[in-house]
Amino acid sequence: MQRMGMVIGLEPDKVVDYKALHAAVWPEILSLISACNITNYSIFLKEPENLLFGYWEYVGDDFEADMAKMAADPANQEWWAVCMPCQKPLVNRKEGEWWAMMPEVFHLD
């Protein structure tokens, strides 16, 4: 199992919309997340800075393949089309990232 954290900005005028979307995530998206070996997925919002922090645990053995499966799913492409305009990627994220991935520096079970 691999714990993964990521961060992205949230457009100030989209906070209410983003919260509403995530209060009622489409069932097919929830199923896809599980099918792609992601568990314990949470998103936190820090206001007024409007930073989103995402956390999940990856329990599969081929992260790249699972992420490709997720990206190729038509329902997920629709979900992203709704969510991505709400998000504001960090300017200093790595090339190819939307959410900026964060290395784990501490964990306690």
Mind telling me the catalytic residues? 22
Bridge partners of residue 4, in order along the sequence: 56
Are the C-beta atoms of residues 67 and 78 closer than 8 Å to each other? Answer: no
Closest CA to 76 of 15, 40, 33: 33
Cis, bond preceding 48 (omega within 30 deg of 0): yes
SS3 content of the chain, % helix, strand, coil (to 5): 40, 30, 30
Q: For residue 29, what is the enclosing H or E element?
A: helix 27-35
